[in-house]
Structure 1
Amino acid sequence: MTTPPKGPASYFPSIEKKHGQPISHWKALIRAAPPTRHMELVTWLKEEHGLGHGHADALVADTLREDRA
């Protein structure tokens, strides 16, 4: 039995289903964006790519967490 993902990763299946792109696509976009702050990246994903706030926030949070590690 597998444990369901927690935190930002819990949004990933619905992001892929709704927007038709793998998570790696979104993370690559975030990493290619000029260095900005968390909420600026969230706003950019919402305005330029049509993501909802929760999905954009989850992607940015997880990507920045990975990059800090």
Structure 2
Amino acid sequence: MTEPVKGPASYFPSIEKKYGRPIGEWQELIRSSDLTKHMELVNWLKSEHGMGHGHANALVAHTLKEG
């Protein structure tokens, strides 16, 4: 039996479903952005891509944690 996904990654299935892009694409957008600060990236995803705060926050947190 596998452990349920916890933390920011638990949002990934709903992010893909709601916004129609795979997580890898979102992460590439984040990595290729000139923005580097967490909240700058969150606000950018919200304003430019219409993402909700929770989804944007989870995606940025997970992506920045990866390095």
Pairs aligned (count) = 67
Equivalent residues in 2 for 1:29-68, closer than 5 Å: 29-67=29-67
Structure 2's unaligned 5+ residue stretches are none
The alpha-carbon deviation at position 3 of structure 1 amounts to: 1.4
Distance 2:40 2:13 in 1: 24
The ranges of structure 1 where at least 4 consecutive aligned residues each deviate by more than 2 angstroms after the TM superposition are: none
**Residues 3-44 of structure 1: CA distance to partner in whole angstroms, max 9, x if unpaired?**
111000000000001111100000000000014210000000
TM-score (norm. length: structure 1) = 0.93
Tell me the amino acid that sits aligned with residue 15 of structure 2: I
Determine the C-alpha separation between the residues in 2 that align with 1:38 and 1:7: 16
> CA RMSD, aligned part only?
0.7
How high is the TM-score relative to the length of structure 2? 0.95
Percent of pairs with identical residues: 70
